[in-house]
Chains A and B, each alone.
Chain A
Amino acid sequence: MKKSMKRGTVTRRGALRTLAAGAAAGLGGTLGAPMIWAQTIRDVTLMHVGPAYSIFPDIAAKASADLGFKVEMQNAWTDAIMARVLGQPDTIDIADLEFWALQRIWRAQKLQPIETAKIANWDKITPLFREGVNFDGSPMSRQGTLPFKVQYVAAMGDKTFAAGPTGLATMMPTIFNADTLGLRPDLVGRPLESWAELLSPDFRGKTALINVPQIGIMDAAMALEAKGEVTYADKGNMTRAEIDQTIAALIALKKQGHFRAFWSSFDESVNYMASGEVLIQSMWSPAVTAVRARGVNCEYKGLKEGYRGWGNGLALMRHLDGLRRDAAIEYLNWMLTGPYGAFVARQGYYSSVPETTQAALSPAEWDYWYGGKPAATEIKDPFGAVMEQPGRIRDGGSFEARVGNIRCWNTTMDEGEYLVKRWNEFVAS
């Protein structure tokens, strides 16, 4: 029922575009109401605030042109977005957040659930988000914030998350990826297969970790677990004892001079790697690309213990209602139609709706980014610069091989406050 309503709007929109093109004659009396709607929706301006890897003026311009109302984008650090959602909700209409952020801010009730029936492509969203299952239908790892855990609420106004699909989503999933370690194959001198290599004495003084407590400790935990030093019940939600063990191991390593640095921003991680300061470290996919763009060999190596996953989604602010909420839903729908998915694919991230993304990418691009096949042509970045030569294969292989091996997720831990305290201690040690 709701679905057909949705389709109704889409057709109306199509009709309106025709109308705008000057072909109004003879379209029939039903257009009376939409006309008024169209005249006012044009005055709507939506503010989409998100992290730099998701915010593109090109996409805002294309969305505005396609939708007939204005979409503006502002980029901000994730912590600043969370702070603004809580403190200045009216400066945001659509918040672009990582899933773990919901554990922190959902219950403040500054966001409103989205009726999944109003999202035309909802059923095409990868089951990973919708049902929390892997490609073969087996359950995904629930270590950390598997997006599915915070994907639904049972009713409007609920402060806690529902265990399964309900028709009310907290966010609409957009992009995600599987993270691993970046390394310099030319300088490490031997093939590396395990996360344990991050702590190998061979690389003393030449390793780095991300300086975000809950992500940095997870990378360290992957390595410590691989090395057999510490076992975790749940790396994504450590106990105090596990945090203590991990931090103690990290402090010991730091005292030995094992770490060259801890990076807080993307450019730092790129510079460490490109300049040879660091040979193996926590890294993000576009950072690896940026190092390679400088002609420096850098690999985003798939390791046998698997990947650390993360996902982003778009959330509606609570203050949106009536016409503005309709416009926001239109925009959310548009974001899953392909152009945005293709844009982020070219920087190495996956779209929540691979099907529409495939349609928006060239076959060669699709095969390279999702298929894990050798590049048939030159591969270009989102801004048109050549980044890979024909024949190159994406590190880690196909979509299924990478995403299917996610073993833990970026998260907010129950002992988060204790973790941050101990992490600060580690950094200051």
Chain B
Amino acid sequence: MHKSFSFWLLSAFFALFLLFLYGPMIAIFVLSFQGPTGGMTFPMRGASVHWFGDLVASTRYGDLAGAFGRSLILGLFAMLVTVTVSFFAGLGFRRRFRGAGALFYLAIAALVMPGVLTGLGIATLFQTLGLSTNWLTSGLGAHLTWTLPFGLLIMFAVMNRFDRRWEDAARDGGATPVQVLRLITLPILAPGLIAVALFGLTLSYDELPRSLLTVGTRNTLPIQIANLTANVTTPALYAIGTLTTLLSLGLIVAAFVAILISGRRK
């Protein structure tokens, strides 16, 4: 019972934190339902879905759907590559090997290199090699310089204190390396891998500085939005925020439900 005071204190803290976290998002959500004459700030001038309609009806927003699609596809690719590559790299780093330090610091360098410079460097590299930049090649590569170090470091956190005796026991019991991986290692690390996946997807989906010079002739969503701030100053910008958040959230929830269902069938 004596715990209850700190419990309530911390609950209040957590609630305040959520309020702080959600404040801007709620503002975006509410303001996207501004009336047709409303601006990007409070007060509300009526409530309407005018700005959502405008997104569809007006051509001033450019190829938003295409940009959203590209960002999502890019995010999914970045997620797949990040999960796979970080998972194996995480396994590899459990043993000492030559070059471990160098590789680790290369990953840290990727993390600390300013995004605009990474983009510039990759664009210059492609130019030197005579390759043209494209969102799925240089764009993906640029995003990976961001998602891979995150993935690797989270794998470190996940694999810490991972008891390798489970694997040893399975191997002693006659399991093949693939079986050990599939039946022991993966299930134990699954929650961590989901965290890596989410990070990979979100970081890529929202990445702007690394994309600017590397996506070639097709804009991704963050570039499109940043460009729109150059000539759109209406709540339509918030409507884009609301819409893309709901869409991507819906997709994630759907994906997780699908995974849960398929998992249960086994």
**Are A74 and B217 within 8 A (Cβ)?**
yes
Q: Is B227 an interface residue (CB 8 A)?
A: yes
Instruction: Specify which of A58, A84, A88, A270 is in contact with B233 (CB 8 Å cutoff).
Output: A270
Instruction: Specify which of B37, B124, B219, B234 is in contact with A75 (CB 8 Å cutoff).
Output: B219
Q: Is A37 an interface residue (CB 8 A)?
A: no
Instruction: Give min CB distance, B58 to chain A, whole Å.
Output: 5
Question: Which of B126-134, B163-171, B250-258 is near enough to bind chain A?
Answer: B126-134
**Are B39 and A87 within 8 A (Cβ)?**
no
Residues in A with CB closer than 8 Å to B76 are none
Instruction: Specify which of A76, A87, A287, A293 is in contact with B123 (CB 8 Å cutoff).
Output: A87
The interface on chain B, measured as residues whose beta carbon lies within 8 A of the other chain's beta carbons, has a size of 32
**Are B231 and A53 within 8 A (Cβ)?**
yes
**Are B41 and A274 within 8 A (Cβ)?**
yes
**Are A47 and B41 within 8 A (Cβ)?**
no
**Are A72 and B62 within 8 A (Cβ)?**
no
Residues in B with CB closer than 8 Å to A265 are 229-230
Instruction: Specify which of B40, B60, B62, B123 is in contact with A88 (CB 8 Å cutoff).
Output: B123
Tally A-B pairs: CB < 8 A. 90
In chain A between 256 and 304, which residues have their CB closer than 8 angstroms to a CB of chain B? 265-267, 270-271, 274-275, 286-287, 290, 293-295
Q: Is A90 an interface residue (CB 8 A)?
A: yes
Per-residue contact bits, chain A 31-72, to B (CB 8 Å; 1 contact, 0 not)? 000000000000000010101110111100100000000001
Given contacts A56-B59, A77-B230, contact A271 B40 (CB under 8 A): yes
In the complex, A293→B34 CA distance in Å? 14
Which of B37, B217, B228, B234: most chain A CB closer than 10 A? B217
Instruction: Specify which of A52, A56, A91, A271 is in contact with B228 (CB 8 Å cutoff).
Output: A52
In the complex, A155→B167 CA distance in Å? 74
**Are B63 and A295 within 8 A (Cβ)?**
no
Instruction: Specify which of A57, A266, A274, A383 is in contact with B230 (CB 8 Å cutoff).
Output: A266
In the complex, A274→B39 CA distance in Å? 9
Given contacts A266-B230, A286-B231, A294-B39, contact A383 B58 (CB under 8 A): yes
In the complex, A270→B234 CA distance in Å? 10
Instruction: Give min CB distance, B115 to chain A, whole Å.
Output: 14
Instruction: Give min CB distance, A240 to chain B, whole Å.
Output: 28
**Are A52 and B123 within 8 A (Cβ)?**
no
**Are B63 and A57 within 8 A (Cβ)?**
yes
Which of B60, B126, B218, B233: most chain A CB closer than 10 A? B233
**Are A74 and B219 within 8 A (Cβ)?**
yes
Instruction: Give min CB distance, A349 to chain B, whole Å.
Output: 12
Residues in A with CB closer than 8 Å to B229 are 265-267
Q: Is B213 an interface residue (CB 8 A)?
A: yes
**Are B218 and A74 within 8 A (Cβ)?**
yes
Given contacts A52-B230, A267-B233, A271-B41, contact A91 B132 (CB under 8 A): yes
Q: Is B120 an interface residue (CB 8 A)?
A: yes
Instruction: Give min CB distance, B9 to chain A, whole Å.
Output: 37
**Are A76 and B133 within 8 A (Cβ)?**
no
In chain B between 10 and 36, which residues have their CB closer than 8 angstroms to a CB of chain A? none
Residues in B with CB closer than 8 Å to A91 are 132-133, 216-217
Given contacts A74-B219, A88-B127, A383-B59, contact A295 B37 (CB under 8 A): yes
**Are A84 and B213 within 8 A (Cβ)?**
yes
Supply 18 A–B pairs (Cβ within 8 Å), ascending by A: A49-B217, A51-B230, A52-B230, A52-B231, A53-B231, A57-B62, A76-B212, A77-B227, A87-B120, A87-B124, A88-B127, A91-B132, A92-B217, A266-B231, A267-B230, A274-B40, A287-B233, A293-B234
Question: B interface vs A, CB < 8 Å?
Answer: 37, 39-41, 58-60, 62-63, 120, 123-124, 126-127, 132-133, 212-213, 216-219, 223, 227-234, 237
